[in-house]
Structures are given as structure tokens and as C-alpha cells.
Structure 1
């Protein structure tokens, strides 16, 4: 099965995803065959034209085929590039293991959050969470837990409170918070800190005191 990472408005459509897998499994497909296979789908002609115009589908001699390349190498792979990959290929499992170091800055202070982010953005990281909110892509199960706390929060608003709390660990090893809020809960879910006693927290990140880089250990 073909899976797409970092979709856009066209490629996240259920019909598009079903169509490319149909074309992947069948050769010399005609319009009649497409309409027979997807007889309950409306406006097939118009949708096909949009896919062809975008270069995702190719029409030659009244036959249709996929116009994109399936991932066959991890060389030159960049974060957030559109990826089409066969889930039955050997490279699929390798792809899920590729990570990129990302840094999150904010406008409230000089603290920097550093994380190892997987290129498919399925793992729970703050950087991937904010990315999914911007791109409106489907959240993974781990990311859903964070969403249940933060929702579609404004990143700068969240970072203001999260980084302000993290900065307290530059002055003390244990921080007491009498009234934990959603941002404290989010920091725990992300694995940035843990509660060691009621309303008492310790940091689980590495700190560079000079540069104020807080590095996640997840």
C-alpha cells in the first residue's frame, strides 16, 4: 500500500489515496475502469483533472498511471518534504527511524527547546505537534494525548508559559507548582519533566546554562 507523509489539500483526500493505490496495483487503467471501481464517487472527471494538473496522475493514450516516484532512497531526505512510500518495501521501516535535530525558539525569552524529530512526524515531539497543527495533518495516537490537553493552541502563547516554567530549573533542581495548569501537564506528557511528589517537579532535559538550550532526552 502507498502511504503519503506530509500531505496537502489534494493528497489528503480519501479518493486520491484510494485512487493511487488502485493505479499502483493495476496497469493500463482506463477512465471507465476508474469509474467502475469508484462508482459512488462524485465528480471523478473534475478530480482527475486536478490530480493531473498537479502532476500526481499521468494520462497517456487514454490510460492513467501514477505520476510520482515512490521513495527508494534516504539520501537527501529533508524534513517535511512530501513522501510517497510503499509500506511493503524495505525502506519503509528505515524511513520511520530517520530523525532530524530541531530547535524551537520563542519571542518571550531566550530559551531554546531542542528535540530529535522523526521525518515522518509520528513520534510525540513539541515541534511535530506544532507542525501538525499548522498543516492540519492527522495526529498520531501519542500526539492525540497532547492535543487533549493543549488543543489547537497558539504556539507562541504556549511557548511563553512552557518556557517560563522551564526557566525555573536554571535556578533550582526541584520546582513546586501549587496550581498545575495545562502547560505543566503538557511538559509532563512531552517527557520534559516529571512529578516526583505532589506538585513537585524535576527536569528530565539536559540544560546548557550558557546558551539556554534545553535538550529533550526522548
Structure 2
């Protein structure tokens, strides 16, 4: 596949869209007859094609069909890829919600995947938050990525498969309620008495957020941060501006919980 899609939605996840997108990327001046000939085994082709047109993913002009999006490549970000960029002083959560498209196996795609994104997990019971730093591809093993991968149906890592066997497709807010109540004990003591671990304590152990000591206690291995300033959230309307800002975000920050 020559095009990598980020922020996929219901339409871009469809196998037919992926095949059509790749076909239109290398074939131009394509008519409906040509599309039907190429994808003759596709059910409801006309309806799907109309959905893509209405959503703005595909353009129909003079009875010809085209991809209606830019596929970003190395040449579009020469400065960001070749020059040493200054890291933003503040921790910023950068957000762009719509699908965007990069040339696969490009330096741009590799650099974007290696950049850092910052993630907060909150719950409805108390003010404790988890803070994570993850590569943009979200292949790092942490609790935020686990919930994201399960919700999006993304294949799980080996560790995440272990976590899934422990607590499965649990509601994140439900899990966080129990985890945070337990972790709040560490604001008053360094060691917490060991008890029979439930699925949530087992999960914290698996991620090495806590560990058993002398068979009697648990100690915490992540930082407790009580002077944390919430990251600035920047919402982008333009994918090019978002990518340029994301490429600058390379600082990996230690996992912590915030009180």
C-alpha cells in the first residue's frame, strides 16, 4: 500500500475505499465504467462511491473520478525533515480529528510516527489523572494506548494481549475509578500493604506502574506529580499545520499520575 491513512473514520476503514484510493492514485481520468470493471465483485459499489463523494473523500468531475485529498510526502516538509527544529517550551496536546494521508514508507511517515504525543486519562470519581508520553504511532505499551487499541479494534501487542486476558474490554472510566482510588494511597505513604490483587492491581503490576516488595507491600514506580500544569490543547483545522507542529514534538516524558 502506497498511502497511509491517519485518523481513520468509518468510511476510510472500508476495504473498498482503500482499494479505490490506491487505484485512483496511479490511474487518472477514470470513468465509472472503469471503476466497475476493476471492482466488479464489490457489493453496493454505487452507494459506497456516492458516500465517498458526499463526504469529500472522492471527487467526481466531468464524469471522471479522483482522490479528493492531498497525499503528503517528504517534499512537502523539507524544512521539518532536514533542519533541527526547536522543541516547544510547553507540553502541548496537538489535535487534528479528520483523516489525513501520507505517502507510506516515506521519511515523513517515519518521522511522524516517531514524534511524541501526550495523553491524559481522567475519571469521574476523583481528580487523579494519568499522564503518558507515546510515539505518534501509539505502539508504546501504556494504559492509554491499551484502551485506544481496544476501542479502535487495533491489533494488540503481546503485553496488551496479556492485559486483555486480565481485564478484557472493560469500560475505561470503571477501570480508572478503581486504579486511581488505589494509587491515591501513595500520596500518604511510600508502601501500600499487599492484598490479593484484583484485575486492576494486576494490570498496574503488568505495566510496572507498581511492584510487589517482600511479598507484603506494593511500591509505586511512576512519578507522583502534584504541581503539574495541564498541557495546552491546540486544535488544528489544517492537516499540514498539524503535521508540521507534530514533527517538532519529540520530547519523551516520564509516565506520572497527577493529583
TM range (shorter): 0.7 to 0.9
* 2:53 matches 1:52: yes
Distance 1:210 1:66, change over 3 A: closer
Distance in 2, Cα, partners of 1:60 & 1:147: 48
Distance 1:168 1:118, change over 3 A: same
Give the Å deviation of 1:12.
0.8
Between the two proteins, the alignment pairs up a number of residues equal to: 215
SS in 2 for 1:138: coil
Give the Å deviation of 1:58.
1.1
Q: Is the 8 A contact 2:194 2:215 kept in 1?
A: no
Aligned residues: CA RMSD = 2.9
Give 5+ residue unaligned stretches, structure 2: 81-92, 231-253
Larger RCO (CA under 8 A, 6+ residues apart): 2
Q: Is the 8 A contact 1:115 1:216 kept in 2?
A: yes
Tell me the equivalent position of 1:216: 255
Task: Give CA deviations for 1:105-147 in whole Å, capped at 9, x if unaligned.
Answer: 222222221111333333333233334455x342442544433
Which of 174, 177, 183 is the matching residue for 2:194?
177
Tell me the equivalent position of 1:36: 37
Give the Å deviation of 1:77.
6.0
Task: Give CA deviations for 1:29-70 in whole Å, capped at 9, x if unaligned.
Answer: 222222222221111111101001101011222222211122
**Residues 65-76 of structure 1: pairs in structure 2 closer than 5 A:** 65-72=66-73
Q: Is the 8 A contact 2:71 2:103 kept in 1?
A: yes
Distance in 2, Cα, partners of 1:83 & 1:144: 29
Q: Is the 8 A contact 2:121 2:144 kept in 1?
A: yes
Q: Is the 8 A contact 1:6 1:137 kept in 2?
A: no
Distance in 1, Cα, partners of 2:123 & 2:168: 19
Distance in 2, Cα, partners of 1:160 & 1:185: 15
TM-score (norm 2): 0.71
Give 5+ residue unaligned stretches, structure 1: none
